[in-house]
Every structure is written in structure tokens, then in C-alpha cells.
Amino acid sequence: MSGNGRGGNKRRRSFKNRDRETWAQDGRNRNEKPRYDKQKGVIVDRPKWAPPKVSTEPLPVPDCPICGKPIKDIASAITDKKFGQPVHFECMAAQIAAKEPLGEGDTVSYIGGGRFGILHYPNPQDRRNFQIKKVFECEDKENRAEWRKTVADRYSTT
């Protein structure tokens, strides 16, 4: 303990108060710490984050070229290579099932990447073991459809 009567943590308290005063003089909050730019060797203030603007216009409701009904859930639609327009997910699966002869234990399933496949289950009760018999490309991987861009811009704003 020093002779001036200020021992232990009391010595640090005056330093903290002095630090708070300088933050208050700058008009900044103590939690808003400036960022140090190592390349330039200077302190740079961080820009204030602003949330992105959300579009107020409604999503388009196109008609399915297969069944003719409006597609209410456009986010779950899939692009048909023939039309280049969105179609119902169920309509595409039903169209593939109608075109291809399905044997016993065969089903049409979405396998990802804009592709459907005919899956063969040796034991229909056991859904863990299957073989992909045939793959159908529905969406073009290189060229994303224009309607997909409007939907993606609506949901992924950052």
C-alpha cells in the first residue's frame, strides 16, 4: 500500500474514470471501439450497419404449363427444360412417372440439383437401401432461370 492512502484497486479506478470521460467527449459509446487498420497504422471508425431493404412487391404467381393452375408457392417450384418456366414440383414428378414405366418397388423421387430419379427399392419396407435406375435433368445448372433470380433476391437479402 502506498503512502498516499490509495491502495489496491483504487489506483486503477481513477484511470478508468479518465478513460470514460474521453469516450464521452468524443460523443461515442464505450462499446463502440474503433478498428485498428494494421496496413495503414491508423485507427478507423467502423461504418454503422444498416439492415438491407426488403422488397414490398409481391412474388409473381405464374401458371404451371403442365396443369394450368397458378403456382402459389413459387419457392418450391422447379424449372422445366422444355418451357423454361416454373412448374409445380408434384406435376413434374407425376409427368416423369407417367412417361416412364415403373416396376414393382420403383418410385420417382427428387435427388437434388434440379434432378429427379427413378429409385428402385429391393425391399419396399426398407427405405434405406435403393438403387437409382434413371436420372432426369430438369433444371440447367449453368443457366439459372430468370424467375429464380427474383425469388432468390427476395429471400437472400444479405
Per-residue model confidence as pLDDT tens digits over 85-141: 899 999 999 999 999 999 898 999 999 888 999 999 998 888 889 999 999 998 887
Single out the residue of 138, 1, 155 nearest to residue 79, CA to CA.
138
Q: Are residues 37 and 107 in the same domain?
A: no
Residue 69 lies in a domain: no
Cell (9 digits) for 106: 420403383
Q: Is 152 helix (H, G, I), strand (E, B) or coil?
A: helix
Band of the pLDDT at 146, cuts 50, 70, 90?
Answer: confident
Count of structural domains, the chain: 2
Determine the average pLDDT of the residues in 35-54.
Answer: 71
Cell (9 digits) for 46: 467502423
Res 33 pLDDT > 70: no
Calpha distance 135→157 (Å, rounded): 33
Residue 22 lies in a domain: yes
What confidence score (pLDDT) does residue 50 get?
Answer: 80
Residue 64 lies in a domain: no
Residue 120 lies in a domain: yes
What confidence score (pLDDT) does residue 71 get?
Answer: 92
Residue 109 lies in a domain: yes
Domain that holds residue 38: 10-44
Determine the average pLDDT of the residues in 148-155.
Answer: 78
Res 18 pLDDT > 60: no
What confidence score (pLDDT) does residue 149 get?
Answer: 80
Q: Are residues 80 and 125 in the same domain?
A: yes
Single out the residue of 147, 18, 8 nearest to residue 83, CA to CA.
147
Q: Contact at 8 Å (CB) between 85 and 79?
A: yes
What confidence score (pLDDT) does residue 28 get?
Answer: 55
Q: Are residues 32 and 82 in the same domain?
A: no
Q: Are residues 85 and 40 in the same domain?
A: no
20: left (phi over 0), alpha (psi -120 to 50) or beta: alpha
Q: Are residues 95 and 148 in the same domain?
A: yes
Single out the residue of 57, 53, 51 nearest to residue 151, CA to CA.
57
Say how many Å lie between the first and final Cα of the chain, rounded: 56
What confidence score (pLDDT) does residue 68 get?
Answer: 92
